[in-house]
Amino acid sequence: MRTLKLTLAYDGTNYVGWQRQLNGVSVQQLIEEAFAPLVGGTPPSVAGAGRTDAGVHALGQVASVTVDTALACAVVQRALNVRLPADIRVMDVVEAPPGFHARFRAVAKTYRYRLVTSAVLSPFDRWFVWHAPGRYEIEAMQEGAVALVGQHDFAAFQASGTMVSATVRTLHRLDVRALAGEIAIECEGDGFLRHMVRTIVGTLAEVGTGTRDAGSIPRILASGDRRTAGRTAPAAGLTLVSVAY
């Protein structure tokens, strides 16, 4: 038996997310089904580093799988890509140490969110951004972002109804940059709650438009109440950029 580490890129528009679900096709499902002919017909269990939600994309999702095959890593990569749809690509396959698990061994993840502020949206961007035209005060958004960096209880920034035992996470970096006609928000941390990045983006967007004051961010964190934070930004703007080990 061998453990393989896969690096994946995908356009999440047509999928219910990374994880297998009963209500639609997931990325995990298609990867496992593509593996089946390579390992005797039974789909193996493929673990992803991050459970990206429906409509969320990935440039550097990492997955691990333990399989009984003598095929070279390059052959596995080609064979999987032949069987996968064009919106999912295996970018790399390498041998991993025995016991490697893509999710539990990860020490940090980086997500990027694109918010387009121009009046007209390019048709080539429509599946990969949040189109929210208007004027945004970047300095205010940056001020709000500073308050979120570090170790905090992010209960107020997780999806309502989520049942997790621990909501403390550490954000190593939260950058807000103004580009031509859009705002890029990049977030690196040791882990993320469900909808956490999208709620951070929605809250900072309200700060940028003046609906919310940057000074309210510490109070939102302290409240632990999802109702005190901003809207959940649309999934389309979010991409899992990379996973660190």
Catalogue the active-site residues: 53
**In one letter, which amino acid is 85?**
P
Residue burial 171-189, b: 16+ Cβ < 10 Å; e: rest: beebebeeeeebbebbbbb
DSSP label of 189: E
Residue with tokens 């970096």: 173
Alpha-carbon gap, residue 218 to 230, rounded angstroms: 13
- Distance, CA of 195 to CA of 183 (rounded, Å): 19
In the chain, what are the helix, strand and coil shares in percent, each to the nearest 5?
A: 30, 30, 40
- What gap in Å lies between CA 154 and CA 221, rounded to an integer? 6
Could you give the maximum distance between any two Cα atoms of the chain, in Å?
59
Q: Round to whole Å and give the CA distance between 156 and 109.
A: 20
Give the tokens for residue 97: 């140490």
Q: Which two tokens stand for residue 162?
A: 């989520």
Q: How far apart are CA 231 and CA 201, in angstroms?
A: 8
